Structure 1
Amino acid sequence: MKSISKYFLNGLIIIVPIAITIFVVAQIFSFAENILGRHLPQSIHFPGIGLLAVVILLVLTGWLSSHWLLKEVLQWGERLAGSIPVVKFIYNSVKKISTALFESQQLLKNAVLVPYPHQGVKALGFLMPELSVPLAQHFNEEHVCVFVPLSLNMTAGVNILVAKQDVIALDVTSESALQYVLTAGAIMPDTGKATNI
């Protein structure tokens, strides 16, 4: 009976991630197909056209944005959005987040330990970009920004400013650090040396 339970758990460990991945990819395909299928005649509709159209749209927009005319149009649109109070806040926030996520190669890459929520305990976090001058000028010693995510929920957490000398850099892969957070510690990060940054 023990061996059956063991095999059952092993099966779950193998099948569940594959099933979730297939489900997510299938949903993306389905969403793209449904959106495009409403506006195209049935004669030119074929499986995969939605995803193909999204990829072409992204590449075309990126290519056009490198030309001066579209740059001028985009800048005009940004100035227009910047003149409307509520829209300005939403647009600027989303743009900054998108830029940080898609352009930064180091976001959520450097796993560290920090004293949080108080001295005497440690929490796993991720080193964020360098502090801006308005923040850094309020400290006598060098501080860094660390994002401490909530377990089971990477979309929530706190950003804390910590003295650099109190931050311990972890010699672990970013994937294993993320797994540690997402599983509430059920999967521990890969072991490795830890040194002060």
Structure 2
Amino acid sequence: MKWFSKYFFNGLILIVPITITTFVVINIFSFTDRLLGQYLPIHFPGVALVVVLLVIVLVGWLSSHWLLKNVIGYGERLLGSIPVVKFIYNSVKQLATAVFESQKLLQNAVLVPYPHPGVKSLGFLMPELSAPLAEKFSEEHVCVFVPMSLNLTAGFNIIVPRRDIIPLDVTSESALQYVITAGSIMPRSNDSK
């Protein structure tokens, strides 16, 4: 019966994000399509996609300007003062930030002594440690994400001394392929792009 629960949860891990993403995307496009159908005299296939992309780019562009930054900051502080909304908003924002910045996060491949000294695991250097963590160590430590093979959504964040990491001169894509394929595709150097 252990195999059933293992495969059931593995299936959920794969199906739930895909289903939620599909649901959200379809609903955004169908809402935009209905809205545009009411107010625009001209309708053609793909207009919702074009409008959604333009709105996202416009909001991104506006959010980089001083005035809108202050408005967004005020809105976030306002949301942060409502107990349940604060939790939901902060959780979704952190998750979205992690997902959309993950390409930047998985850039620096390194080898670290994990799961015990004497062996090396491929991992990715994470952002600098925050002050509450860094001050607990007498020497410089870094955070490394060691992903599990075949599943990049699971892994371990380990904190190791900087002197124990071995930087790799490999492409981030090939390092990710190495992890996803459980080592059957070896990482390529940056020179062989």
In the superposition, the TM-score normalised over structure 1's length comes to 0.71
Q: 1:136 to 1:71 in 2, by over 3 A?
A: closer
Q: 1:120 to 1:103 in 2, by over 3 A?
A: closer
- 2:34 is aligned to 38
Contact 2:171 2:189 in 1 (8 A): no
Q: 1:179 aligns with which of 174, 177, 180?
A: 177
Deviation at 1:172, TM superposition (A): 0.7
Write out the 4+ residue segments of structure 1 that deviate beyond 6 Å after TM superposition. none
Note the residue ranges of structure 1 that are not aligned, 5 or more in a row.
1-26, 193-197
Listed one character per residue, the Cα deviations across residues 45-95 of structure 1 (whole Å, up to 9, x for unaligned) are: 212212211111012212333455544432232112111234323323443
Larger Cα-atom Rg: 1
69-78 vs 79-88, which deviates more?
69-78
Q: 1:44 to 1:153 in 2, by over 3 A?
A: farther
- Percent identity, please: 68
Match of 1:116, SS state, is: coil
Contact 2:123 2:147 in 1 (8 A): yes
In the superposition, the TM-score normalised over structure 2's length comes to 0.72
- 1:15 is aligned to none
Q: Please, what is the CA RMSD of the aligned residues?
A: 2.9
- 1:169 is aligned to 167
- 2:135 is aligned to 137
Match of 2:152, SS state, is: strand
Listed one character per residue, the Cα deviations across residues 123-178 of structure 1 (whole Å, up to 9, x for unaligned) are: 11100111122111111121111011122221221111011111111111000001
- 2:80 is aligned to 82
Q: 1:191 to 1:71 in 2, by over 3 A?
A: closer
Partner Cα separation in structure 1 for residue 34 and residue 88 of structure 2: 29
Partner Cα separation in structure 2 for residue 97 and residue 143 of structure 1: 25
- 2:9 is aligned to none
Partner Cα separation in structure 2 for residue 109 and residue 36 of structure 1: 35
